[in-house]
Structure 1
Amino acid sequence: MDYAKTYRALETFLRDKVLRGEESAIEEDTPLLEWGILTSLTTMELVAHIQQEFGISIPVDRMFGDNFKDLRSITRLVVELGGGTPGSEPQETATAHGASEVQG
């Protein structure tokens, strides 16, 4: 996964949907949690966006502050989890029980 494309896609989402187009600058190290840019609600919106945009689910054991403290950390998390390029769809795979499961 391309770090720069992922970063830009996440930055755009934060600026358009979380900051609602405000002229605030978001840098790689802007403290999103500390400054209240990401709250519990906006973090869940971001997680839903990551699932839809990159086709991955963030495991519960990766849902902690250090992974969401700034844009750099969020981008690294998405890249580490192997999400597809922005706009990719989750892939369906068959499970051992014959049911479909969304993979990311």
Structure 2
Amino acid sequence: MLSMDHAVVLTQIKDYFTYRVLDGVEEELEEYTPLLDWGFINSLEIAHLVAFIHETYGLDVPPEKMVPAVFQNLHTITAMVMEVSELAVH
């Protein structure tokens, strides 16, 4: 597996949210936008996001990462993808 670039993963996840969750509206979506607090993500959206992560990066999100803290914002989601990617390499 190739090493992933944090900025690239962040951009891809932001694009996912912009086009699949927010119907193309990017106005207030930033790296630390509180996705859960603002209602941008719920359990169904988390399931879709986990499927996107699997399809895009070939990664399975482990059950211990399926907690609200991981899905707080784009930064925490990107950090989780990077961490799971590193674990998959070893």
Question: What is the TM-score when the length of structure 1 is the normalising length?
Answer: 0.76
State which of 58, 62, 82 in structure 1 corresponds to 2:61.
58
| 1:22 partnered with 2:25 | yes
- Higher share of residues assigned helix: 2
Distance 2:17 2:85 in 1: 20
Alignment of 1:65-104 (within 5 A): 65-82=68-85
Distance 1:80 1:11 in 2: 18
State which of 26, 32, 35 in structure 2 corresponds to 1:32.
35
Distance 1:59 1:65 in 2: 14
Distance 1:12 1:23 in 2: 9
- Higher share of residues assigned strand: 1
Distance 1:16 1:9 in 2: 11
Q: Which runs of 4+ in 1 moved over 3 A?
A: none
Question: What is the TM-score when the length of structure 2 is the normalising length?
Answer: 0.88
State which of 37, 43, 48 in structure 1 corresponds to 2:46.
43
Tell which structure's C-alpha radius of gyration is larger: 1
Aligned-residue Cα RMSD (Å) equals: 1.6
Question: Unaligned regions of 5+ residues in structure 1, if any?
Answer: 84-102
Count residues with an aligned counterpart.
85
Question: Unaligned regions of 5+ residues in structure 2, if any?
Answer: none
